[in-house]
Amino acid sequence: MSDKTLPSDNSDSNLPGRIEDSNLGYYEVPVKPKTRTLGIAAVAFVLVSAGFFSYYFINQDQIDSEILGNTLPLTAEQKMVIQYGVGGFGSDHAHAAIAVFVDGVQLNFGLPDFQLKSKYIHFENHNPYLIHKHAVNVPLDMLFSSIGMEITHECIGLGYLSSELLCADSEKSIAFLINGKYYTEISSYEIKHNDRILVSFGDLKEIPEQLQYLESLEIYDVPERNKLVPGKDFLV
């Protein structure tokens, strides 16, 4: 077998497909604007998310309570707060005396069933006549509703006793007096400090004597400091 060697000449230079003969070049591929936008959006999302979670962490209790509150049904008092635009608790403090007579008998609001039924307006300390109001825009309707009463311009409802209404007729009358002045209705009235309120159902001849009793009741000054009610979430 004879030795054979590859040709040493440059004859392969004539072969097609050589790199040197190609039009190959190097190009820089630019970053597409869409890619840059997505990157910015991702960074923004991270920053916003971090801010949201930081805010939630700091205010978690308040946020959770608001969410829970929005999912629970409103109480009768909460509905009235919205209806009358009641101010914040503590936005006012006033005392007034009230006497309600039905057929000559005075209702005793000093009984436990009538005490501290609303934080905005109530009776307290087993006092049978002294109203305490703790916010602005609180009408007497809120007081009556909280103790199971309804008082209109011609009827009195004692819901805690019976569903039957006591209404004025040819034999019995109903009268409302505030500081000795007659009113056609009082449910929408908002008490002022030292007011004296009379509700009388029955014989109108008894009103002078009832007014005399009402004038004898002591209305205490508003204390400089309030105290927390045991078992309640408000001050008196």
Check residue 194 and give its pLDDT: 97
Tell whether the model's pLDDT for residue 104 goes beyond 90: yes
Q: Is the pLDDT of residue 209 over 70?
A: yes
Q: What is the pLDDT of residue 164?
A: 85
**Residues 133-146: tens digit of each pLDDT:** 999 999 999 999 99
How far is Cα 147 from Cα 140, in angstroms, rounded to an integer? 11
Structure confidence at residue 10 as a pLDDT band (50, 70, 90): low
Question: How far is Cα 220 from Cα 110, in angstroms, rounded to an integer?
Answer: 16
Lowest mean pLDDT among 40-44, 54-58, 117-121, 214-218: 54-58
Q: What percent of the chain is modeled with pLDDT above 70?
A: 67
Output the pLDDT for position 45. 75
Under the banding of pLDDT at 50, 70 and 90, the label for residue 57 is low
Whether the per-residue pLDDT at 24 is higher than 80: the answer is: no
Greater model confidence, 191 or 58: 191
Which amino acid, one-letter code, is at 224? E
Predicted confidence at residue 222, as pLDDT, reads 86
Give per-residue pLDDT as tens, 157-166. 998 878 889 9
User: Thinking of the domain 79-216, which architecture would CATH place it in?
Assistant: Beta Complex (2.170)
Q: Tell me the pTM.
A: 0.66
Q: Is the pLDDT of residue 15 over 70?
A: no
Within 31-157, residue ranges assigned H as helices are 33-58, 60-71, 76-84, 140-146
Over residues 12-23, the mean pLDDT reads 54
Is residue 157 within 8 Å of 149, Cβ to Cβ?
A: yes
Q: What are the residue ranges spanned by the domains of the chain?
A: 33-70, 79-216
The answer on pLDDT for 149 being more than 90 is yes
The Cα–Cα gap between 197 and 180 comes to 8
The pLDDT of 3-23, averaged and rounded, is: 54
Instruction: Name the residue with tokens 């004898």.
Output: 216
Predicted confidence band at 116 (pLDDT cuts at 50, 70, 90)? Answer: very high
pLDDT of 173 over the 70 cut? yes
Look at 155 and 48; give whichever has higher pLDDT: 155
In the numeric block, the tokens 């978690």 are attached to 60
What burial class does residue 62 get, using C-beta atoms within 10 Å of its C-beta: 0-12 exposed, 13-18 middle, 19+ buried?
A: exposed
What pLDDT sits at residue 44? 72
pLDDT over threshold 60, residue 220: yes
